[in-house]
Amino acid sequence: MTKKDILRLYQCREPIAALTCYDASFAQACEQAGVEVLLVGDSLGNVVQGQRTTLPVTMTQMIYHTEAVCRGCSQPLVMTDLPFGSYQTSPQQALEHAVLLMQAGAQMVKLEGGAVMAETVAFLAARGIPVCGHIGLQPQSVHQLGGFAMQGKSDSAAQRLLDDGLALQQAGADILVLESIPAPLGQAITERLTIPTIGIGAGSACSGQILVLYDLLGLSPIMPPFARDFLSGRGSIQEALAAYVQAVKQQAFPA
């Protein structure tokens, strides 16, 4: 899969199935299940390292996990999070670290932030780096946000997120992750944009869906309200992954 393949799915209105992934074995299992996008997420800080937030995750760790995922699969598009502190200082800083992730095998990098990151997105896109934006709940800004709460609930907050999405698209973002926002807002942003949106707790109208792999398997100590345990009642992890892909494709998840 390339970003052109993802755009083709979007243009055909076929829901895009995405999951986070952190190692080669799960990358292979996700590929066999038909997952189209694998995100090497800094959520590994929570589910792999046992950290309270994603903030302690380092570039060295993201490179390591990207290399591991890329060894385990050949079909899905692999994108990797730029970790906290690796891109906020300047576009040049973002480019230097994005290059390292691309050299490790990533086909796209993801960064958090709205219109304030538009200059950085444009800088990366102009230099051959595909970019996925991320708005709504931004885990790297958890302390500023005051916790892991739904975003965009007021009219003014919803308008800001819509403006953020349009600014990132204009800057050259290829995909936009929408996290933990009201479903009607997820639909409104998706309808206004001409790039795919990948929802995580953003309603069923997004162009695709993503979950943290450990949430899908019911392994996370605290399950987000938008997550579903796909392993429950099934005989294997492979069955759970296939059930997730099928549910996304049939728009049965999220209900």
Amino acid (1-letter code) at residue 28: Q
CA–centroid distance for 213 within its chain = 12
Active site residue 179: yes
Q: Where are the beta strands (DSSP E) in 100-228?
A: 108-110, 131-136, 175-179, 197-200, 208-211
List the catalytic residue out of 31, 36, 112, 179: 179
Backbone angles phi, psi at 16, to 5 degrees: -95, 125
**What's the token pair of residue 110?**
């993801």
CB atoms within 10 A of CB 126: 12
Q: How far is CA 225 from CA 72, 73, 150, 229, in A?
A: 30, 30, 10, 11
CB atoms within 10 A of CB 252: 11
> Which residues are part of the catalytic machinery?
179
